[in-house]
Amino acid sequence: MNKTWWKESVIYQIYPRSFNDSNGDGIGDLKGITEKLDYLKELGIDVIWLSPVYQSPNDDNGYDISDYQNIMDEFGTMKDWEELLAEVHARGMKLIMDLVVNHSSDEHAWFAESRKSKDNPYRDYYVWRPGKDGVEPNNWESAFSGSVWEYDQATEEYFLHIFSKKQPDLNWESPELRNEVYKMMTWWLDKGIDGFRMDVINFISKVPGLPDAPNQEGKQYVSGGEYFMNGPRIHEFLYEMNQEVLSKYDIITVGEMPGATVDDAKLYTGDDREELNMVFTFEHMDLDSGLNGKWDLKPLDLLDLKENITKWQVGLNGVGWNSLYLNNHDQPRMVSRFGNDKEYRVESAKMLATFLHMLQGTPYVYQGEEIGMTNVKFDSIDDYQDIEIRNMYRDKVIQGNEDHDKVMESIYVKGRDNARTPFQWDESENAGFTSGKPWLKINHNYKDINAKLAVADSDSIYHYYRRLIELRKKNSIIVYGEYELIMAEHQQIFAFTRTYENEKLLVITNFSGEEVMCDLPNDIVVSEDKLMISNYKEATNSTGASFTLRPYEARVYKFNSL
């Protein structure tokens, strides 16, 4: 397996709006990030990924970009950004930027031109179609509810928007558009950035003809995913992007890819393919959803998680590379979702961190994860800011006839604002995030859960992450070791081994709040002196092949010879 720095890195995701506000306007900003770089360096972070900081009307918090080469006013200036980059580099860390080129904002200059007339030179930068029988050109549903089509009076045609109607899809069939994007990427890389996280990048090639999706139940709109995820020209486009831009720099590239399977990922990330370094799969994020999508709540079955993680670990081993994550700005908080954010918050957050950081791949830490930040429950729908939540609530409750309480429950469990509440720095007003009024309410638990407390307590989740990251730096096996699932049928324990050269790791994690018996396979016998890290301070008698694990207990053993 090829060794590279980006396989050995730990990446920290910053959602700038919610990280740290330096000027009291209630919105996080670039100077605020620069102020906190030492905190990240202390944690051991190698690479920082910034969610979008470009100019944007903020219909989708910066994922709707109106100028790719300027900074959002609320976040500061290009000078602030340059200073941030310099300070990141001065600390030996790297910075990767979000690349959002499946769509732009409708306030982008290209779109302003494109909508003017059918023969405008920019017309082709977007996807325009005439209506069909007086309605939208097809029946696809937008990720943010309603149709993917918006009618535009000026030319009496519809434009495509898989996300909000202020996020028109760019037309990658246009060579001019592709060149503009490559030019813009090169401009950022020449400014010294260290790579890109690419927003829904597997959506950029659509099936020609944009056919209606099957619709047995006769719904108004249905998901058209099969016609725009991993579409017919996707590998051609990514290879071209690689040849034109990426291959000229020593950088990290990670593609966000809903609907990508392991087989797709082999093609996207394969060593010999010259496309991307790694992808964000969504498969493990979908295991607790029912047939009707993310708001259709379903308890997670640990066996499903094992099967899925194992498929990716085994599938990409030696072929491509995994990115490892359990939450981000689009997902609920990991400890609330997969652990227990009440009596076992600390134990379960550490257990989940152990689990993730001991898999093969590059781990991503989402801001606040390292101090065990939790989901929120706002009483009123008006307290939520996320366009996905607001549109869904409007469609289901205000315009539809679904039950308010049921819909609120699904927002409490799955809503994206769970991850977007401001970072909890300390116990002062507004959690030290801002001296003004925060753009989104602070989680009420900030007096107990904050970075100041975490840094001061050597037994905190924060320091546990620091240790995990340190171990990765000292043990190649954590990065490169081959994964094998053991105890596959156990309902509460997720256990696996990693093997590399003459070493072996044994990772045992209890995903339940119960005490459970752990009976190891016959060939494995553990002893305390082999323990590398664990999330309970006091040892128990765990020598031998059979012992009890405490609630959410996690242990990693290292053996020197096979």
Q: Is 199 in the site for ligand NOJ (CB under 6 A)?
A: yes
Smallest gap from residue 366 Cβ to ligand NOJ (A): 11
- Considering only 200, 305, 518, 556, the residue that binds ligand NOJ (CB under 6 A) is 200
By C-alpha distance, which of 438, 383, 388, 379 is closest to 416? 388
Q: Is 141 in the site for ligand NOJ (CB under 6 A)?
A: no
Q: Is 106 in the site for ligand NOJ (CB under 6 A)?
A: no
Burial readout 240-274 (b: 16 or more C-beta within 10 A, e: otherwise): bbbebbbeebebbbbbbbbbbebebbebbbeeebe
Give the nearest residue (CB) to ligand NOJ.
63
Smallest gap from residue 60 Cβ to ligand NOJ (A): 5
Smallest gap from residue 108 Cβ to ligand NOJ (A): 14
Q: Is 163 in the site for ligand NOJ (CB under 6 A)?
A: yes
Cα dihedral sign, 459-462-465-467: negative
How many Å apart are CA 304 and CA 540, to the nearest integer?
30
Residue 199 is a catalytic residue: yes
Q: Which of residues 431-490 bind ligand NOJ (CB under 6 A)?
A: none
Residue 256 is a catalytic residue: yes
Catalytic residue among 74, 256, 283, 288: 256
Alpha helices in 146-301 (DSSP H): 175-190, 234-244, 262-269
- Considering only 40, 72, 100, 442, the residue that binds ligand NOJ (CB under 6 A) is 100
Contact 193, 252 (CB under 8 A): no
- Closer residue to ligand NOJ, CB minimum distance, 102 or 348: 102
Provide, for the chain, the percentages of residues in helix, strand and coil under a 3-state DSSP scheme, each rounded to the nearest 5. 35, 20, 45
Q: ∠ at Cα 96 (5, 333), nearest 5°?
A: 100
Binding mask 240-259 for ligand NOJ (x = CB under 6 A): ----------------x---
Smallest gap from residue 332 Cβ to ligand NOJ (A): 14
Smallest gap from residue 14 Cβ to ligand NOJ (A): 13
Q: Which two tokens stand for residue 404?
A: 């308010």
Catalytic residue among 64, 74, 106, 199: 199
- Tell me, rounded to whole angstroms, the distance of Cα 503 from its chain centroid: 31
Smallest gap from residue 199 Cβ to ligand NOJ (A): 5
Number of chain positions touching ligand NOJ (CB under 6 A): 9
Contact 155, 117 (CB under 8 A): yes
How many Å apart are CA 199 and CA 102, to the nearest integer?
7
Q: Which of residues 35-74 bind ligand NOJ (CB under 6 A)?
A: 60, 63
Q: Which of residues 298-357 bind ligand NOJ (CB under 6 A)?
A: 329-330
Name the residue type at position 559.
Answer: F
Residue numbers annotated as active site: 199, 256
What are the residues binding ligand NOJ (CB under 6 A)? 60, 63, 100, 163, 199-200, 256, 329-330
